[in-house]
Structure 1
Amino acid sequence: MLSYLGATAFQLFIYCWFGNDMMLESVSVANAAWDSAWPDIKSKRFRFGIRMITHRSQKVILITAGGFANVTLDTFTTILRAAYSCFAVLKKVEN
Protein backbone atom coordinates (compact mmCIF):
# COMPACT_ATOMS: atom_id res chain seq x y z
CA MET A 1 0.00 0.00 0.00
CA LEU A 2 2.90 2.32 0.75
CA SER A 3 4.34 1.85 -2.73
CA TYR A 4 0.92 2.62 -4.24
CA LEU A 5 0.65 5.84 -2.22
CA GLY A 6 4.19 6.82 -3.17
CA ALA A 7 3.52 6.21 -6.87
CA THR A 8 0.29 8.22 -6.73
CA ALA A 9 2.01 11.10 -4.94
CA PHE A 10 4.85 11.03 -7.48
CA GLN A 11 2.41 11.10 -10.40
CA LEU A 12 0.57 14.06 -8.85
CA PHE A 13 3.92 15.76 -8.24
CA ILE A 14 4.89 15.40 -11.92
CA TYR A 15 1.66 17.08 -13.06
CA CYS A 16 2.10 19.88 -10.55
CA TRP A 17 5.78 20.36 -11.44
CA PHE A 18 5.09 20.81 -15.13
CA GLY A 19 2.01 22.95 -14.45
CA ASN A 20 4.14 25.23 -12.29
CA ASP A 21 6.90 25.29 -14.92
CA MET A 22 4.40 26.25 -17.63
CA MET A 23 3.04 29.07 -15.45
CA LEU A 24 6.56 30.45 -14.86
CA GLU A 25 7.44 30.23 -18.56
CA SER A 26 4.24 32.05 -19.56
CA VAL A 27 5.21 34.90 -17.23
CA SER A 28 8.67 35.08 -18.74
CA VAL A 29 7.33 35.54 -22.30
CA ALA A 30 6.26 39.13 -21.62
CA ASN A 31 9.57 39.92 -19.94
CA ALA A 32 11.57 38.47 -22.84
CA ALA A 33 9.57 40.44 -25.42
CA TRP A 34 9.90 43.64 -23.41
CA ASP A 35 13.64 43.18 -22.88
CA SER A 36 14.29 42.68 -26.58
CA ALA A 37 15.65 45.54 -28.68
CA TRP A 38 12.20 46.43 -30.03
CA PRO A 39 12.57 50.24 -29.65
CA ASP A 40 15.49 50.13 -32.11
CA ILE A 41 13.49 48.29 -34.80
CA LYS A 42 11.95 50.56 -37.44
CA SER A 43 9.35 48.09 -38.72
CA LYS A 44 5.90 49.08 -37.47
CA ARG A 45 4.61 45.55 -38.05
CA PHE A 46 7.35 44.07 -35.82
CA ARG A 47 6.73 46.64 -33.07
CA PHE A 48 3.00 45.94 -33.26
CA GLY A 49 3.71 42.21 -32.93
CA ILE A 50 5.86 42.78 -29.84
CA ARG A 51 3.12 44.89 -28.27
CA MET A 52 0.54 42.18 -29.02
CA ILE A 53 2.77 39.49 -27.49
CA THR A 54 3.29 41.64 -24.40
CA HIS A 55 -0.42 42.38 -24.10
CA ARG A 56 -1.47 38.74 -24.59
CA SER A 57 1.11 37.36 -22.18
CA GLN A 58 -0.12 39.50 -19.30
CA LYS A 59 -2.69 36.78 -18.64
CA VAL A 60 -0.87 33.84 -17.03
CA ILE A 61 -1.41 30.42 -18.61
CA LEU A 62 -2.40 27.83 -16.02
CA ILE A 63 -3.40 24.19 -16.05
CA THR A 64 -6.48 23.64 -13.94
CA ALA A 65 -7.90 20.51 -12.37
CA GLY A 66 -11.54 20.44 -13.35
CA GLY A 67 -11.61 24.22 -13.61
CA PHE A 68 -11.52 24.77 -9.86
CA ALA A 69 -7.88 24.34 -8.80
CA ASN A 70 -4.66 25.46 -10.43
CA VAL A 71 -2.14 22.64 -10.92
CA THR A 72 0.99 24.13 -9.34
CA LEU A 73 3.45 23.16 -6.64
CA ASP A 74 1.43 25.18 -4.12
CA THR A 75 -1.56 22.98 -4.88
CA PHE A 76 0.59 19.88 -4.43
CA THR A 77 1.70 20.97 -0.96
CA THR A 78 -1.89 21.86 -0.05
CA ILE A 79 -3.06 18.39 -1.11
CA LEU A 80 -0.30 16.71 0.89
CA ARG A 81 -1.11 18.75 3.99
CA ALA A 82 -4.82 17.96 3.70
CA ALA A 83 -4.12 14.26 3.16
CA TYR A 84 -1.83 14.12 6.19
CA SER A 85 -4.42 15.96 8.31
CA CYS A 86 -7.10 13.46 7.31
CA PHE A 87 -4.74 10.58 8.04
CA ALA A 88 -3.91 12.00 11.47
CA VAL A 89 -7.59 12.44 12.35
CA LEU A 90 -8.47 8.91 11.21
CA LYS A 91 -5.53 7.47 13.13
CA LYS A 92 -6.62 9.35 16.26
CA VAL A 93 -10.23 8.11 15.91
CA GLU A 94 -9.02 4.54 15.41
CA ASN A 95 -7.22 4.52 18.75
Structure 2
Amino acid sequence: MFLLPYSFAIILIIFAHCWFGNDIICRSADLTNAIFSSNWIGSNLTTQKTIILFMTFNKEPLSIHLAGGLFTMAVPVFVSICRTAYSSFTILQKFK
Protein backbone atom coordinates (compact mmCIF):
# COMPACT_ATOMS: atom_id res chain seq x y z
CA MET A 1 0.00 0.00 0.00
CA PHE A 2 2.75 2.46 0.93
CA LEU A 3 5.14 1.23 -1.73
CA LEU A 4 3.36 2.84 -4.69
CA PRO A 5 3.37 6.50 -3.51
CA TYR A 6 6.94 6.14 -2.24
CA SER A 7 8.11 4.66 -5.56
CA PHE A 8 6.32 7.38 -7.50
CA ALA A 9 7.96 10.10 -5.39
CA ILE A 10 11.44 8.62 -5.86
CA ILE A 11 10.92 8.28 -9.62
CA LEU A 12 9.67 11.87 -9.80
CA ILE A 13 12.72 13.18 -7.92
CA ILE A 14 15.15 11.26 -10.12
CA PHE A 15 13.30 12.42 -13.24
CA ALA A 16 13.48 16.07 -12.13
CA HIS A 17 17.24 15.83 -11.58
CA CYS A 18 17.76 14.16 -14.96
CA TRP A 19 15.46 16.61 -16.76
CA PHE A 20 17.20 19.69 -15.41
CA GLY A 21 20.62 18.11 -15.91
CA ASN A 22 19.71 17.57 -19.55
CA ASP A 23 18.49 21.18 -19.74
CA ILE A 24 21.86 22.42 -18.44
CA ILE A 25 23.67 20.39 -21.11
CA CYS A 26 21.49 21.81 -23.91
CA ARG A 27 21.65 25.39 -22.72
CA SER A 28 25.41 25.41 -22.24
CA ALA A 29 25.87 24.16 -25.81
CA ASP A 30 23.49 26.87 -27.03
CA LEU A 31 25.45 29.52 -25.11
CA THR A 32 28.67 28.79 -26.99
CA ASN A 33 26.83 28.82 -30.33
CA ALA A 34 25.12 32.12 -29.50
CA ILE A 35 28.40 33.79 -28.58
CA PHE A 36 30.03 32.57 -31.77
CA SER A 37 27.08 33.83 -33.83
CA SER A 38 27.28 37.31 -32.33
CA ASN A 39 29.17 40.21 -33.92
CA TRP A 40 32.37 39.65 -31.93
CA ILE A 41 34.69 39.95 -34.94
CA GLY A 42 34.18 43.73 -35.09
CA SER A 43 34.96 44.31 -31.42
CA ASN A 44 38.29 45.33 -29.91
CA LEU A 45 41.18 42.89 -29.51
CA THR A 46 40.76 42.36 -25.76
CA THR A 47 37.11 41.40 -26.18
CA GLN A 48 37.96 39.06 -29.05
CA LYS A 49 40.60 37.28 -26.98
CA THR A 50 38.21 36.97 -24.04
CA ILE A 51 35.46 35.51 -26.23
CA ILE A 52 37.85 33.04 -27.89
CA LEU A 53 39.11 32.00 -24.45
CA PHE A 54 35.52 31.54 -23.22
CA MET A 55 34.61 29.42 -26.26
CA THR A 56 37.76 27.33 -25.78
CA PHE A 57 36.85 26.53 -22.17
CA ASN A 58 33.28 25.69 -23.17
CA LYS A 59 34.04 23.12 -25.88
CA GLU A 60 32.38 20.46 -23.77
CA PRO A 61 28.93 21.36 -22.45
CA LEU A 62 28.39 21.72 -18.73
CA SER A 63 26.85 18.72 -17.00
CA ILE A 64 25.93 17.42 -13.58
CA HIS A 65 27.73 14.24 -12.62
CA LEU A 66 26.47 11.65 -10.18
CA ALA A 67 28.26 8.93 -8.22
CA GLY A 68 31.73 10.39 -8.44
CA GLY A 69 31.56 11.17 -12.16
CA LEU A 70 30.18 7.79 -13.22
CA PHE A 71 26.86 9.10 -14.51
CA THR A 72 25.86 12.32 -16.21
CA MET A 73 22.41 13.45 -15.16
CA ALA A 74 20.42 13.38 -18.40
CA VAL A 75 17.22 11.85 -19.74
CA PRO A 76 18.90 8.73 -21.21
CA VAL A 77 20.35 7.98 -17.77
CA PHE A 78 16.83 8.21 -16.30
CA VAL A 79 15.58 5.69 -18.85
CA SER A 80 18.46 3.40 -18.00
CA ILE A 81 17.71 3.70 -14.27
CA CYS A 82 14.04 2.87 -14.85
CA ARG A 83 14.89 -0.17 -16.98
CA THR A 84 17.33 -1.48 -14.40
CA ALA A 85 14.90 -0.91 -11.53
CA TYR A 86 12.07 -2.65 -13.40
CA SER A 87 14.29 -5.59 -14.30
CA SER A 88 15.39 -5.95 -10.70
CA PHE A 89 11.79 -5.71 -9.52
CA THR A 90 10.60 -8.45 -11.88
CA ILE A 91 13.45 -10.75 -10.86
CA LEU A 92 12.63 -10.22 -7.18
CA GLN A 93 8.94 -10.91 -7.88
CA LYS A 94 9.85 -14.30 -9.41
CA PHE A 95 11.61 -15.30 -6.19
CA LYS A 96 8.62 -14.30 -4.07
- Which residues in structure 2 correspond to 1:45-64 (within 5 Å)? 45-64=46-65
For residues 62 and 90 of structure 2, what CA distance do their matches in structure 1 show? 35
Q: Structure 1 stretches of 5 or more lacking a match?
A: none
Q: Which residue number in structure 1 is paired with residue 11 of structure 2? A: 9
Deviation of 1:83 (Å): 0.4
Query: Structure 1 length as normaliser, TM-score?
Result: 0.90
- Deviation digits for residues 14-35 of structure 1, max 9, x if unmatched? 1111111111111112101110
For residues 9 and 27 of structure 2, what CA distance do their matches in structure 1 show? 27
Deviation of 1:52 (Å): 1.1
For residues 23 and 31 of structure 1, what CA distance do their matches in structure 2 show? 13
Question: Residue type of the partner of 1:48?
Answer: K
For residues 2 and 26 of structure 1, what CA distance do their matches in structure 2 show? 36
Q: Which residue number in structure 2 is paired with residue 34 of structure 1? A: 36
Identity %: 29
Contact 1:33/1:53, CA 8 A, preserved across alignment: no
Query: Structure 2 length as normaliser, TM-score?
Result: 0.89
Structure 1 segments (4+ residues) deviating >3 Å: none
Q: Which residue number in structure 2 is paired with residue 78 of structure 1? A: 80
